[in-house]
Structure 1
Amino acid sequence: MYQILNVFKYFVALLLVGILIGLISLAVVSYRDSDAFLTFRNAYTVETFLTRLRNGDASNPKEHGRLYKVVQALRPELVGKLPKDEDIPYDYRYFSKEVVANFLQDSSASLKVLKEDPNILQVFAPEEKYIAKLLLLSGANDAIARGERTVNGYAKRLEMTGTYTSAFDYPTGLFVIDGDVLNPALQTWDGLVIIDASGTLHIKDIRRLEYNFTEYDIDHSRQDYLNFLNIAKRAKLSIFQTHLLITGGAIDTSPTSDRRFRRRAIFQDQQHRVSVYDSFEEQPTLYELAETLKNNYGATEAVNLDMGPYGYCARYENGIRTKLYFAKGQGIRLSNILIFNYR
């Protein structure tokens, strides 16, 4: 009996050792296939992939998956020493030499420059959570008729006039709040500012308007117009229409305009950052404003905001106004306000 017990103990010990070895092997394999492996001494790099590709060892999903993991954890040391263009297979040359280089551009440095620029009131990078809101105002006291000004958990806010106000003290052009169409009358301007249900702001060209890979010609096709506004209702979009300054990185306003004012604009860049610009003492034309945004800040999309006597703009923290950039004119009734709530 004692001998049988010893044999059983020996068998159990062998079994446990086998299980332990299996777990260690599994952990090693998982580690090598994880992003953590990319920090290992002999890290898999873009160079590694290209070398294996030339040797005929990378024409499979596993190696391409490793390349994708490199991109996910991308930093300069994970590129390696790339061969000359002629030594990189044609179908991988553009990605390896140009796209990877674009990915490695230090956007943090340009973000720091933006935040320190005196003409940039605020910049919102994709990783910095903000919630944009659009309000309809009414009456001499600018009471909120539609929309919500504040968001729980967001102590700071920057607010400003959005689109233009008509002679009837009402927002001009297409105007929608949380899916409710408050002004269906389109204007001639090509700029649309769209705020999605999460509070993220998007600048769109009405001539190239698309949603979920479907294009909508809302100022020519009645059906497209109705379909898009039905989408806005379902998706709880907020929208206003204004002058488009830049679209697709190209200036989209006429150089012939000679009207000079203090200007305010919202623009986006290649890093999908949203920035608010104020010209302050400068009084550019719309074209000069667009040139400044494109040449100085790399704007890819930009729209003009209402200024003059309607050009209200202020900053708040914990409900207290900390900065008034521009007060509305005497007797002016604001019709709308764009708000960025942030932390």
Structure 2
Amino acid sequence: MRSHVRRGACLLAAVLLAAPHAAAAPEGEGVLASACPGPGAMDLLLMPEEAEALDAEAAALTVTGAYTATDKRDAGKPKPVGLFLHRGQAISLEYGRMDGLLVIEADGAARILSAPSAQVAGASFDLTDLEGRRAFVAAAKTAGASALQSHLLIRDGELDLRPVESAPAAIRRILFQDSDGALAIWQSGARALTLHEAAEELARLHAPAMAMNLDMGSYDFCERTGAQSAAAGDGVRGASYSCGFLDRQGLERLSNLIRLHPDANCG
């Protein structure tokens, strides 16, 4: 019988799970925030249930994560597109045709993976297979892990998409991970790029190991809070300010947010 669970992490996964004591987080052109690998690097907020978590004083950059569907989940709440798990709870089991997967363990350690090599709690699963998805969901529930799908743009250091004729151009925001496992959120500034152009530019500037697209457009939420906000010049530790199209008044249309904690585990 075909095994849907492959024990033993591959070399890349082993690197991403490592948390060196003196890791360096990515920085430079287009990087909005970054965090070194390890526990506490990232949270996934389910909306609207966790809207109050935005008021936490810890330094963070919070942005829109997975796409939001046009249909609703229970009680008319916004529904994320694709497979979506929140701290061990299955919010959506509708697997999308997207190869990118963000997995956040219960301790906040996070990594970007490809759907055929999804990993959680030390085991690997093929999400392109129905039984593999079922096994992944069961393992994530037991581990209290979170997961979301999006388009994978860079896989193992190589572009994972091709140019498309007449592709739409827009401001792009991308979550990426370097070869040491550090996470960062990159944006094309105010410039409109195709997904391929954005992935090419990110690869040239920062050479990520893995990268996946984040939702933007009319769903673009971005907020800085805590020490990061104070460092940016407002002088108030714990203050917050908007850096996206939507402010908190527009949160009702979003199904989820990802929160990156700058400089987590660094130094």
1:288-327 superposed matches below 5 A: 288-317=197-226, 319-321=238-240, 323-327=241-245
Question: Out of 147, 153, 159, which is 2:62 matched to?
Answer: 159
Kept in 2, the 8 Å contact 1:149–1:339? The answer is no
Match for 1:251: what amino acid? L
Kept in 2, the 8 Å contact 1:150–1:341? The answer is no
Task: State yes or no: 1:284 paired with 2:202.
Answer: no
Q: Which deviations, in whole Å up to 9, do the C-alpha atoms of 1:265-311 show, x marking residues without a partner?
A: 01111122111101122211111111112121011100000000101
Other-structure match for 2:153: 245
Q: Aligned equivalents of 2:119 and 2:244: distance in 1? A: 35
1:77-156 superposed matches below 5 A: 114-115=26-27, 117-126=28-37, 130-138=40-48, 144=50, 149=54, 155-156=58-59
Kindly indicate which of the two structures has a greater share of residues assigned to strand.
2
1:326–1:131 CA distance, 2 compared to 1 (3 A): same
Other-structure match for 1:255: 163
1:285–1:242 CA distance, 2 compared to 1 (3 A): same
Match for 1:305: what amino acid? L
Q: Aligned equivalents of 1:213 and 1:234: distance in 2? A: 12
Kept in 2, the 8 Å contact 1:133–1:149? The answer is no
Q: Aligned equivalents of 1:236 and 1:213: distance in 2? A: 13
1:174–1:260 CA distance, 2 compared to 1 (3 A): same
1:338–1:237 CA distance, 2 compared to 1 (3 A): same
Kept in 2, the 8 Å contact 1:173–1:186? The answer is yes
Q: Could you state the TM-score of these two structures normalised by the residue count of structure 2? A: 0.75
Match for 1:253: what amino acid? L
Q: Aligned equivalents of 1:284 and 1:199: distance in 2? A: 31
Shift of 1:118: 4.4
Give the number of the structure with larger relative contact order, counting CA–CA contacts within 8 Å between residues 6 or more apart: 2
Kindly indicate which of the two structures has a greater share of residues assigned to helix.
1
Kept in 2, the 8 Å contact 1:133–1:148? The answer is no
SS of equivalent residue, structure 1 residue 182:
strand
Q: Could you state the TM-score of these two structures normalised by the residue count of structure 1? A: 0.59
SS of equivalent residue, structure 1 residue 126:
coil
Task: State yes or no: 1:206 paired with 2:124.
Answer: no
Q: Which deviations, in whole Å up to 9, do the C-alpha atoms of 1:36-66 show, x marking residues without a partner?
A: xxxxxxxxxxxxxxxxxxxxxxxxxxxxxxx
Q: Aligned equivalents of 1:188 and 1:149: distance in 2? A: 31
- Structure 1 residue ranges without an equivalent (≥5): 1-106
Instruction: Report the identity percentage.
Output: 30
SS of equivalent residue, structure 2 residue 139:
helix
Return structure 1 stretches of 4+ with deviation > 6 angstroms: 329-332
Shift of 1:133: 1.2
Q: CA RMSD in A?
A: 2.6
Q: Which deviations, in whole Å up to 9, do the C-alpha atoms of 1:146-184 show, x marking residues without a partner?
A: x95577xx6211100001111123111111100101000
Match for 1:269: what amino acid? D
Kept in 2, the 8 Å contact 1:189–1:244? The answer is yes
Shift of 1:218: 2.2
- Structure 2 residue ranges without an equivalent (≥5): 1-22, 72-77, 227-236
